[in-house]
Structures are given as structure tokens and as C-alpha cells.
Amino acid sequence: MEGTVVDLSLGGACCRAAAGRPWALDEKVALAIELAGLDEPIAVEATVRWVDPIDTQRFGVQFTAGLRPREVYAVNALFRKQQG
């Protein structure tokens, strides 16, 4: 299933699935997040922590395993770029 990361932090993300089924609280998901500066997507396991009651394709996840150092660097570089 494809989608978009709406908001990203080192501990989790807000995602919006392109289409499909509703998401369940505590559901385990595997994400592949593409970030500028990395040749390959970040592969991370996560748990669904909330689901938008109106737009059930929008949900928040908590990463269940820490990001690797290169991934933390890429996420922080994105934060710095957004702050200008």
C-alpha cells in the first residue's frame, strides 16, 4: 500500500494511505520512507497509535525500533532544511 508521510519525527510519523482499508489501533505496520540524501528508503517497523475518526486513511505510528544513525542524520537534515 502506498501513501504519504504527512509529519515525521525521530519517534514516529503521521501517515496518509493512498487508499484501502481502515487502520486499527495497535496494528503492526512496516514502512519504507523515502528521504532526500539516502539511496534507499528507510525501512522501519511501527505500531499504529491513533486513527483519524473522520479520515480513516490518516493515522499516526510510533516506531518500534530505533532508526539507524544514517537515518537519524537524514531526518535531522530534513528538519534543518525546513527551518531554513
Please state the domain count of the chain: 1
Residue-number span of the structural domain to which 69 is assigned: 3-83
Instruction: State the pTM of this model.
Output: 0.84
Distance CA 9, CA 75 (A): 8
More confident residue, 15 or 80: 15
Which CATH number fits the domain that encloses residue 22?
2.40.10.220
pLDDT tens, residue by residue, 70-79: 888 888 888 8
Strands (E), 18-67: 28-33, 42-51, 58-63
pLDDT tens, residue by residue, 7-19: 998 999 999 998 8
Distance CA 62, CA 13 (A): 7
Cα–Cα nearest to 63, from 38, 33, 36: 33
DSSP β-bridge partners for residue 17 = 3
